[in-house]
Amino acid sequence: MKHQIEVNGIQLYAFHGCLEEEGRVGGNYVVDVNLTTNFSTAALTDDLTQTIDYVDVNRIVAEEMAVRSKLIEHVGQRISQRIYQELRGVEKLKVKITKICPPINGDVQNVAIVIKSSAQDFR
């Protein structure tokens, strides 16, 4: 059986971007994580150890967002890799990182990257 776990709207302040100013001033980001897994045992037993703990997902995202990168693509790749390495039972993963009010010389609300992957992509 396939199930989805979503941790949406993780709001963070981080220092990503190619401009030096972005590294000093920082900006607002929102991260959404969607995991495909099988939590049938957890659903039957009410046992947290038989599913993916949302706290662990949030922790991994926060830790990787705290490491400065020029590209949010790079941050998304690191988040994906750590989730597969550290969380048991993840079959597929979707990570979306949204950068609010990017400095791109235009009236743009946000930009985002999306990484969709499966466990085989990180073996």
For 51-71, how does the pLDDT look when each residue is reduced to its tens digit (9 = 90+)? 999 999 999 999 999 999 999
To the nearest whole number, what is the mean pLDDT of the chain?
A: 96
Q: Are 84 and 122 in contact (CB under 8 A)?
A: yes
Q: How far apart are CA 2 and CA 58, in angstroms?
A: 22
pLDDT at 49 over 90: yes
> For position 39, what pLDDT does the model report?
97
Average pLDDT over residues 37-47: 97
What would the two tokens of residue 28 be? 């607002």
Average pLDDT over residues 22-47: 96
pLDDT at 99 over 90: yes
pLDDT cut 90: percent of the chain above it: 90
pLDDT at 123 over 80: no
Q: Are 85 and 33 in contact (CB under 8 A)?
A: no
Q: Please state which of the four CATH numbers 3.30.1130.10, 3.40.50.720, 3.30.365.10, 3.40.50.1860 is assigned to the domain occupying 3-122.
A: 3.30.1130.10
